[in-house]
Chains A and B, each alone.
Chain A
């Protein structure tokens, strides 16, 4: 080999390796989520209890050809979701040997949606199944990412009974255009946690109205030591909604109509502000304390907090006092309100009918009462199905943790979570002006009028 050929050869090699590196780089975004999967070796304890054959929905329908589906899911609570899901999947695969389920942990709810969106728009293949926010329904339908589930429901024996077994408050976010688009999975409600020992000590009854709530909070406040109530507002619409609903007017009327400037909503904004400005029972302004509030409550730095029902487990683990849970009191004595939240199962477009069928089987499998109850016990989410509360495991759990049962009973006061067309835009508008009101930059009335105006513009395209 002459020197010249060596130079050419090296140059060629360099070009090739760089080109390959370039391709590798391009492939990374789609390959990355799969790499973050929890180690396969760990087996959840649940995996050992195989379901009784009688519980299994139509095991004979298993497709003849092997099918592999992916399920993208977020982790949004302090629980080993990955490990729990792996256990369920092991059970599922035992029953359906032809179906392989690959769970893909994709980050938070936003990350799941963004990953799917970029995959689809980049011409890639989406997962067959994903857990995304119940409130994302309209955006997902409009984007043409998901399929309705009615055909599957009709084809299943007891399909209608299956759907009717879900709590109506949770199903409210699944229906659009006369069709069912998602199945409730990891669901929660806004919960008012109170320090029951402190209440007893001070001779205070659990509040049954705004007035009683404000007075209790005021009485329990010790300046520089304890707040009467903490009510996070860094991402404020969800925790605000019970106030509006409790005053008789939810902020959302229909998928294309919001009620931000309704006098009752404005009054609810004013009540939130009054808790700090009039009663001095809550930190002033926008409170960026979603992460800290449960810990503050558990260590006694706050007598009450408004938070997700999903935080119950963590709070009970830390608190050394009796923890009370209840819906947020409404304005009128004896009224209460809360709002649902959390994620549902969606089946995606762009995968084969066999995979969609397999995804549906998996949904049915993990929403069986037995698994719904187990998932609720292990994570703190509310079991989405009524019959899950008839299982022995759940009964024993509620015996031990009565708060879990009380949270389920709060569903009767639940209003619909903010969910509408152009959700991202409308929600950002509402956040902007709600926070402006909380921070005293605008009066509640100015802020909500402006929010209504801008939201109407954002929704005009849909009418």
Chain B
């Protein structure tokens, strides 16, 4: 990147402790709302505690019992597989769509305002409302989604939310639809900040639009892509509201992902210990992804 940070101006000597004071509010919030619950989750994951069983309401230490239970649970394995499909399916699709949308709305074409609005509209809609609308889109026979597919010559099964092979795909479609417009904003900002002279130079050299896009724009937007992919991955793990509305993880758990399953274990089964163990698993996965992402960015940025 060409941007060089301006030299820090230190005209007056700031007290040594000032940075700590300035960072303390953030630090405090992170400690109270992130670090402490994490520690607590790790701690309770070593205990057996069911809130709906009188004799197991008081926690008893069972070591790694909850983790052992997870490892041998067929449900958990299925949920992990669903989560992997969900994340690997929705994140790249959302990013590619976001980039294409951004390219499209970045041009000064008549009526682009409407396109911008329609791409961004899903973002401002609350997920539960959006999912309720999609519920009707997915209706067999006369639902908008099925009618649309039929007009394209689709004759496959229409029971998107009730079919065990389609339900996960259905919730993924809604997630991509919701997410792409949001990520588009970052690409749009990135595109509009790109220096125009390199494109002009490339045009003079006879580079095609396609070459300019992939050889210049995309590499220059690398940092944006990195940021976008990080938040897209985190959101993919975090946003499950539409599953509550559309499928309740069904049929037969086929659209249940990690966070939804965690909610079921905690609030339906009332199994606090197992839910804590699941939380720890979730944290470890997210941490691994974030650290990998960070290390990659450091390496590439060097």
Residues in chain A within 8 A of chain B (CB atoms):
3-4, 7, 11-12, 14-15, 18-19, 22, 25-26, 110, 113-114, 117, 121, 138-139, 142-144, 224, 233-235, 283-289, 291-292, 301, 421-425, 427-428, 431-433, 435-436, 438-439, 441, 461-462
Q: State the Cβ distance, A281 to closest chain B Cβ, in Å.
A: 15
Of B26, B52, B246, the residue contacting A142 (CB under 8 A) is B52
Main secondary structure of the interface of A (DSSP, over half): helix
Q: List, in ascending order, chain B residues with CB within 8 A of A18's CB.
A: 25-26, 28-29
Rounded to whole angstroms, the CA-CA distance of A436 and B74 in the bound complex is: 15
Rounded to whole Å, the gap between the CB of B253 and the closest CB of chain A is 6
Considering only CB atoms and an 8 Å cut-off, how many residues of chain B contact the other chain? Answer: 44
What residues on B are CB-neighbors of A4 within 8 Å?
Answer: 12
5 CB < 8 A contacts A-B: A7-B18, A14-B25, A22-B25, A288-B159, A461-B56
Can you name 15 extra interface pairs (CB under 8 A) apart from A15-B24, A292-B139? Answer: A4-B12, A22-B29, A26-B33, A142-B54, A144-B57, A285-B159, A286-B162, A288-B159, A291-B136, A292-B136, A428-B264, A439-B162, A439-B164, A441-B164, A461-B50
A432 to chain B, nearest CB (A): 5
- The residues of B with any CB-CB pair to A shorter than 8 Å are 12, 14, 18, 21-22, 24-26, 28-29, 32-33, 50-57, 135-136, 138-141, 159, 161-164, 246-248, 250-253, 264, 267-271
A110–B139 Cα gap in the complex (Å)?
25
**Judging by beta carbons under 8 Å apart, are B268 and A288 in contact?**
no
Query: Is A139 touching B250 in the complex (CB atoms < 8 A)?
Result: no
Residue of A nearest to B271 (CB): A425
Cβ-defined contact, A22 with B32, below 8 A: yes
The one of B55, B162, B164, B264 that contacts A288, using a Cβ cutoff of 8 Å: B162
Check if A142 sits within 8 Å of B53, measured CB to CB. Answer: yes
- Across the interface, name the chain B residue whose C-beta is closest to A120: B51
- B270-A7 in contact (CB<8A): no
Q: Is the CB of A7 within 8 A of B14?
A: yes
Q: Specify which chain B residues have a CB less than 8 angstroms from the CB of A142 in the assembled complex.
A: 51-54, 57
Least Cβ distance of A298 to chain B in Å? 14
Which residues of chain B have C-beta atoms less than 8 A from A138's C-beta? 52
Contact A433 B252 (CB under 8 A): yes
Contacts of A11 in B (CB 8 A): 18, 21-22
CB distance from A338 to the nearest CB of B (A): 24
* Alpha-carbon distance A292/B162, docked complex (angstroms): 14
B25 touches A425 (CB 8 A): no
Please measure, in the bound complex, the distance between the C-alpha atom of A12 and the C-alpha atom of B15, giving whole angstroms: 14
Q: Taking CB as reference atom, which chain B residue is nearest A291?
A: B135
A15→B24 CA distance, assembly (Å): 7
On whether the beta carbons of B159 and A139 are closer than 8 Å, the reply is no
Which residues on the B side are within 8 Å of A462 (C-beta)? 53
User: For B251, what are the chain A residues with a Cβ–Cβ distance below 8 Å?
Assistant: 234, 285-286, 435-436, 438-439
Which of chain B's residues has its CB closest to A447's CB?
B252
Report yes or no: A15 in contact with B21, Cβ–Cβ below 8 A. yes
